[in-house]
Structures are given as structure tokens and as C-alpha cells.
Chain A
Amino acid sequence: MPHEKRKKFFLGILSWILAMLFLSPFYIVLVNSLKTQKGIFVGITSLPFGEYFSPENYIEAFQKLDFLRSFSNSLMITVSSTVLIIIFSSMAAWMLVRTKSKLSTGMYFMFAAAMLIPFQSVMLPLINLMGKIGFMNPGGLVFMYLGFGSSLAIIMYHGFIKGIPVELEEAALIDGCNKFQTYWYIVLPLLKPITVTVSILNVMWIWNDFLLPQLVINRPEWHTIQLKMFFFFGQFSRKWDLALAGLTISMIPIIIFYFIAQKHIVKGITQGSIK
């Protein structure tokens, strides 16, 4: 079928053009991050060679971003929030599914309905309250992520747990396990597929979050990558060579994460959206 073949050829070309178009912003940033300020103005699309080649941008940006520290701050906050969200939401969701009462149904609907509340509508009273109880620090931030992350995580665990048979748990109880042992040794391992999804969604959200840390964290030594980037850009927005190197550095960790966990990320997004 020559017609079919021609169509495939045309679609193939079109899809590669689109792919290049999607990549072009990354390309422009990467190429210019390796040039001197002058090199950027001489030719924005040219490759960074010759007199304008300036890999030193990266060294300076790396230092100015205090990258090792801000990276480990981001990592600590993201990992500890995600772990807590996973443990406490799966525990709660399991109880809510297995307890048949008006209270548990009502609670589930409260968590689900809260999905509609935009962050800006609670942000001011939240910061006021957190300041009063001394939570304006990384530990407090993790607590706030636990609260904001609870809705989606509970909805997802709730949906998954409804599909697993209760017999295994009953057998464990008969064998003398208490509730916590049953949860820890029997239920939690069964939840692994949905746990992967919940972790991916939370890691991507918390890692990239800017506004909440900006409101909560006031000491430079606690700054996450997003926060450092915000202040760094404010300082160097006229010095694009440095700013672009900083932007590239700040994108690298999540892109590496993507290459490692791509399959899980795509699966997580698909399941996460189905709710």
C-alpha cells in the first residue's frame, strides 16, 4: 500500500519535528549556558565554541547556588515527606476501608473534598498558625507536606485497598498478629504497586514546589533548590550566562530521576489521573 506508506512517512517526519520543537527550549538554554555574556548576544543559536566558550559559568553558578547544600536540603525534605505520607496515608486508608461506619465514610469524603481547596486560599492563616506553634522550619515543612499530601494519597490507597481480599488479614489476626503487625507484614507489602505511584507523584510535587518553602523557610542554610534558584535568579537575571548555567544545574537532578524511573513515572501519572 503506497498510500499507507506515504502517510506513515509523513507522520514520522511530523512527529520528529514536534519532538525537536519540544526540546528546543532545553537546547537553547544548554547551549547558551556555556557561553560568555557577549557570546549569547553575538549568536543565540550558535554552538559554544572558540572565544565565547565559557564552562566557568557552571563553576560559579554551582558555588552561588550552594548546590550541594540546597540539593541535600531538597532531598531530605522530599524523601522524609514522601515516606511519612506513604506510611500514614496507607495506614489511615486501610483503616477507613476496613471499618464500616458513618465516621469512616465521612472522613474519607472530607479528605477527598479537600482536593478542591487551592493552596492560596489557606496559605495566609496557615502561615500565621505555623508561626505561632514554631513550625517555620524544615521539620514543620515536612509536617505541612504530610497534611497537604494526605488527600490524594488517601484517595489512591483507598481505591486500591478496596480491591484486595480481606481473607489474608483475617488469617493473620487468627495467627495472633495484632493490627499493627497485620498492617506492616501483610497489608503494606501488598500495596507496593500503588505505593510506587504515590511516591512518584509526591516526589515530583514536593521536589518542584516553590511557594510553600518560600513562605515557611527563612534561613538561607535551609533553602531548597527551588528557593535558591529564585533568589539566585533575582540577583543574576541580567547576567544570563550565569543564570542559564544555574537553571541547567537545577534541572539536572530531576532529569536523571526521570531517566532512571521513567517507566514508573509514566505509570504513576496514568494511575494518578484515574484516581
Chain B
Amino acid sequence: MKKSKFWFWLFVGPILLAFLTVVIVPMFRGFYFSFTEWNGISNNVNLIGFENYARALTDEEFIHSFFFTAKFAAVSVVMINMIGFGLALLVTQGLKGSNIQRSIFFMPNLIGGLVLGFVWQFIFTKAFDAFGSTWGIPFFEGWLSTTGTGFWGLVILMSWQMSGYMMIIYIAAIQSIPESLNEAAKIDGANAWHRLLNITIPMVMPAFTIGLFLSLSNSFKLFDQNLALTRGGPYGSTEMLALNIYQTAFSRNQLGYAQAKAVIFLLAVAFITLTQIYYTKKKEVEM
């Protein structure tokens, strides 16, 4: 009996140690720090109760950043999944070149958010501008210099990056639909549109749960792309939650306050993703 315990801890111990030190201990210390005036420099950390939380909930910048993030997440989740599902339908039609197209659609996902943010900074500020002035279309000029274009810039970047990922997930789901279902529906006279609505979409529902979860949590936690594309500008109006926490901690050295925001962030992410999983799981068809 004692021997099996020895083996258990020998096998589980190393990764458990890393996990506890890196994730669990910091999380609990974080709860504590969020109630203090911690500034990262001085050693005496004063407890100030719920002051940081009260401040966060009345901080206009933070509230703006919260709703900006929520709006961004809502719009980009819809875009990413619609495009991803559309692409998946397109490349499963048995057309020539589908394999190459799949590789192309997935390619942006390989590259880090930071590099992609810089790439799109060039495209929005230089390429769009050049295009706009050559053809005389003012729509393409001045991108990323306003809150609106910054918002849509982030949405475009994120959709371009993540829809290929969602496509891969939806392709797997579409290909696992039994051929006989579609054949039977065809014989019954259902057209392509009816088959999509009544067979493909319901059958792909479990994949939607996953797709929505991944795109929602990635959009809500977005950091690298935000930093590289707009840096929160103009005037912090496109600063999303993760970047806002980062700036509060490292530009303003208010670590205790930043940590209170980080705890609110944790609760928000957990609440939103769990709610989403609960609701979409309810909609899945049982086969």
C-alpha cells in the first residue's frame, strides 16, 4: 500500500509542483493582493479592504474597456464562426483545389498575435491609405486613427486569424455526418438549403459549442493583437481588458489595483464561458 503511494506521488508530483507554484498559489496570492495597496516596489503591503474593487467599478476607463471588450468579443465571435463555418462548407464540396485552400485559410493561425498585429498595422495604415487615395475612396483612409476603425481593425484581424481554426473544427464535424442522412433527404426532395438547415447545422451543433467557446474566450482575453495593432489608441479608447490590466500594473505601478481588475476579469471570463457552454450544450442534438 505504501509502495503504491510512493509511485503515485513520484508520477504526479513533478507536474503538480509546477502547476501549484505557477497557477494555484499565484491565484490565491492574487486574491490577497487585490485587497492591498501593493505597488510592486515597497515591501509593506497595506490591506485596504474592498477599496480597489470599488474604484474599479466606478473607473470610467475600466468600464469603457470592459464594454469595448464585450462588444468586440460579441462581434468577432459571430464573424469568426460564420466565416469559419462558411469556409468549411465551401471546402467540403469536393471541388478541385480544396486541400490547398484549406491550408491557406488556416495559415494565419500559425503566426503569433504580435507579429500579425504589426502586419495589419502596415496594411491598415499604409496599404489602406494608398488604396484609398489612389481610387479616391475616403473609406480606406485614416484607419486605426479613430475608435471605430480601431474596433473594426481588431475584428478584421481576429476574424482573419481565427476563422481558419474554426474551419478545421467544422470540417471534422461536417465530415462525420453520415452520408445516408443527406441521401435520404435528397430522395425526399429536400434542396441544398433545407439540408443545410435541417441536417448539417443540427448535426454540427456540438462543434459549435467548441467553436463558440474557443473564439469567445480567445476574443475576451485578447492581448498581443491589441498591443501590436492599436496599443489601445487613440487615447486608450481601444484598450481591451487584458491590456488595461497590463497598463495599470506596468505603466502606472498600481499593482494592487491592477490585481483587483484581474480578479474581476477572471470572474467575468469564467462566468461568460461557462454560461455559453451551458446554453449551447442544451441545444446539441442527442444522437
Q: Residues of A with Cβ closer than 8 Å to B?
A: 8, 11-12, 14-16, 18-19, 22-23, 25-26, 28-29, 32, 40-41, 43-45, 88-89, 91-92, 94-96, 99, 104, 107, 110-111, 114, 116-126, 128-129, 143-144, 146-148, 150-151, 154, 179-180, 183, 204, 207-211, 226, 229-230, 233, 237, 240, 243-244, 247, 250-251, 254-255, 257-258, 262, 265-266, 269-270, 273-275
Instruction: Tell me which residues across on chain A come within 8 A of B26, comparing CB atoms.
Output: 122-123, 125-126, 129
Instruction: Tell me which residues across on chain A come within 8 A of B241, comparing CB atoms.
Output: 120
Given A18-B87, A125-B259, A226 contacting B27 (CB threshold 8 A) = no
Residue with the highest number of chain A CB atoms closer than 10 Å, among B111, B169, B210, B270: B111
B66 at the interface (CB under 8 A from A): no
Compute how far the CA of A129 lies from the CA of B23 in the bound complex, rounded to whole angstroms: 11
B224 to A210, Cβ gap below 8 A?
A: yes
B242 to A124, Cβ gap below 8 A?
A: no
Given A12-B97, A22-B108, A107-B16, A226 contacting B262 (CB threshold 8 A) = no
A29 to B104, Cβ gap below 8 A?
A: no
A121 to B12, Cβ gap below 8 A?
A: no
Closest-by-CB residue of A relative to B14 is A88
Q: List the 9 closest pairs (A to B, CB-CB), nearest first.
A: A147-B22, A208-B112, A121-B266, A147-B18, A88-B15, A125-B29, A125-B26, A95-B11, A126-B26
5 A-B contacts, Cβ less than 8 Å apart? Answer: A15-B91, A23-B104, A122-B26, A147-B19, A254-B110
B70 at the interface (CB under 8 A from A): no
7 extra interface residue pairs, beta carbon distance < 8 Å, beyond A129-B25, A269-B165, A270-B171: A15-B90, A23-B107, A117-B27, A120-B221, A207-B112, A255-B107, A269-B168
Instruction: Tell me which residues across on chain A come within 8 A of B198, comparing CB atoms.
Output: none
B112 to A210, Cβ gap below 8 A?
A: yes
A29 to B30, Cβ gap below 8 A?
A: no
B15 to A95, Cβ gap below 8 A?
A: no
B15 to A117, Cβ gap below 8 A?
A: no
> How far, in Å, is A161 (CB) from chain B's closest CB?
12
Instruction: Tell me which residues across on chain B come within 8 A of A226, comparing CB atoms.
Output: 112, 114-115
Compute how far the CA of A226 lies from the CA of B114 in the bound complex, rounded to whole angstroms: 7
Closest-by-CB residue of B relative to A262 is B103
Instruction: Tell me which residues across on chain A come within 8 A of B93, comparing CB atoms.
Output: 8, 11
B12 to A95, Cβ gap below 8 A?
A: yes
B57 at the interface (CB under 8 A from A): no
Q: Residues of B with Cβ closer than 8 Å to A?
A: 4, 7-8, 10-12, 14-16, 18-27, 29-30, 33, 40, 87, 90-91, 93, 95-98, 100-108, 110-115, 118-123, 126-127, 130-131, 160, 164-165, 168-169, 171-172, 210-211, 214, 217, 220-221, 223-224, 228, 241-242, 245-246, 249, 255, 258-259, 262-263, 265-266, 269-270, 273-274
A116 to B273, Cβ gap below 8 A?
A: yes
Given A124-B30, A147-B18, A273-B210, A266 contacting B106 (CB threshold 8 A) = yes
Closest-by-CB residue of A relative to B12 is A92
Cβ contact of B23, chosen from A22, A147, A247, cutoff 8 A: A147
Compute how far the CA of A92 lies from the CA of B104 in the bound complex, rounded to whole angstroms: 37
Residue with the highest number of chain B CB atoms closer than 10 Å, among A11, A15, A124, A237: A124
Cβ contact of A118, chosen from B11, B98, B107, B221, cutoff 8 A: B221
Compute how far the CA of A207 lies from the CA of B100 in the bound complex, rounded to whole angstroms: 24
B11 to A94, Cβ gap below 8 A?
A: yes
A254 to B111, Cβ gap below 8 A?
A: yes
Closest-by-CB residue of B relative to A14 is B90
Instruction: Tell me which residues across on chain A come within 8 A of B130, comparing CB atoms.
Output: 41, 43-45
A125 to B16, Cβ gap below 8 A?
A: no
